[in-house]
Amino acid sequence: MVSVVKGCIPTMGTESWKNRSFRVLTLGKNVVGTSDRNCDIRRSVDIVPQIRDVTVTQCNEEIRNYTREVRVVVSKLRESLIETNEEVKALVRGKEALERTLEHTRKDLQLNKDSKFVRLTRPPAEKEHDGVDDLLEAEYAHLVNSKRSLEVQLKTAQQHLQCLDQSRQRTITCLQERSRVLDLICHALSAVLQPERDILNLKPNRSQVEGRTSMVDPGSLGSVKPDTLSPYTLEVHNVLTEATDLRNQSAYLRRDIRCTIDRIDTLKQTAHNKVNQGLTQKVAETVTLKQYLNLGLGETRHALHRAQRWYDATEKAHGYTLGPVCYSDLTTREHLDRPLVTVYQRHTGTQLPEAQVLVKAGTSLNQSLVTTSKNIGLLKIARKKLGEDKRSKRAAIEVDSSVIHMRRRKADHRWCLGTAF
């Protein structure tokens, strides 16, 4: 059957036959378009063939970044550990200075007791309570208070050293835990911390100010938020914060220790000098009194010699007044019944006062001898007392001088407790 199409070349095939071919062509075209679109979509979605290499590279980069961050944290922990060690050393030096000052205070207390004990050997007349005893008591009270203050400060320093040691142990533990992932990475701090310094705007810390080499400041980590899954964990943050606080407290404690030692040394030296000055003044006063006693002793001796000479002269005059012991030794002119007197007494009222005068003279001379003898006895007693007082003053001078020499000799504290003074 031949079909004729208007304006076209006549065809031999039927219409259904051509439509079936067209439908096949359209289906193929649609399939091709869908395939191309799917290829374009998968091209942007599907994993590249080198996914293993890419994944390995990304994981390695992530590991390197993490380990670098951990290395920075480890560096900060190490710096904190170094700072804590330096603070422990400084506080140990302060504790040793406290112990040395406490030892000197104990020696000063022993020296004070020795000074009191030596002064007990003074003669009884010189044991009266004086200004030196007051100065020694005041020095003793000050030394006891200083000893108690130093013991409290030393106990505080020891407790803070224990806290620093515990913080150091926690820092070491945290450092070891953080360092477990750094076996395959370089630990050079100079190349690692300089970028971190620029990023974190780190400032010079105390070790740099004091002249020690330091790379980081642990106090600047407060701007970084801790995270349990990050290199800078909450434990690291707590360890660094606690170490920083303890170091600051230790710095204040060391300053208090220095101030306490300086104050106690100044007060002890002042009290020591006052006691020495008091002893020196007491020795000077005793020497002055001893010199006066020497003068008084000389005057007493001179007066005793004068009184003795007067007693001897009076005794001789009394003997002359009494006359000879035997009547036969009297001369004629000394007899009361001599011829001249007998002739004179033939008249009444012619009594002579010779006998009464001689009796009165003898009685007066005898009374003079008794008085002079009493004065000589009193002068001897006064001379004895002056001599005893002089010897007491000389012994007191020797005792106080020995105390002064002992205190000056032991002022440098280069002696051991329990040694003889």
Question: Comparing C-alpha atoms, which of 132, 151, 152 is closest to residue 140?
Answer: 132
Residues of the chain with pLDDT under 70: 1-11, 13, 46, 187-224, 323-325, 327-337, 345, 347-353, 355, 418-421
DSSP string, 387-409: HHHHHHHHHHHHHHHHHHHHHHH
Distance CA 46, CA 35 (A): 15
Residue 396 near residue 126 (C-beta atoms within 8 A): yes
Residue 407 near residue 276 (C-beta atoms within 8 A): yes
Predicted pLDDT of residue 134: 93
The 10 Å CB-count burial string (b at 16+, else e) for 43-72 is: eeeeeeeeeeeeeeeeeeeeeeeebbebbb
Phi, psi of 11 (to 5 degrees): -110, 160
Residue 421 near residue 119 (C-beta atoms within 8 A): no
pLDDT tens, 311-334?
Answer: 899 888 877 777 666 766 666 666
User: Residue for token digits 């106990």?
Assistant: 155
Predicted pLDDT of residue 24: 82
**% residues pLDDT > 90 (the chain):** 44
User: 3-class DSSP state for residue 127?
Assistant: coil
Phi, psi of 415 (to 5 degrees): -150, 165
CATH topology of domain 62-282: Substrate Binding Domain Of Dnak; Chain:A; Domain 2 (1.20.1270)
Predicted pLDDT of residue 252: 94
User: Residue for token digits 């990050």?
Assistant: 230
CB-count exposure of residue 169 (10 Å: 0-12, 13-18, 19+): exposed
Predicted pLDDT of residue 55: 86
Predicted pLDDT of residue 2: 44
Looking at the DSSP bridge assignments, the partners of residue 3 are 11
User: 3-class DSSP state for residue 11?
Assistant: strand
pLDDT tens, 103-147?
Answer: 999 999 999 999 999 999 998 888 888 899 999 999 999 999 999
pTM over 0.85: no
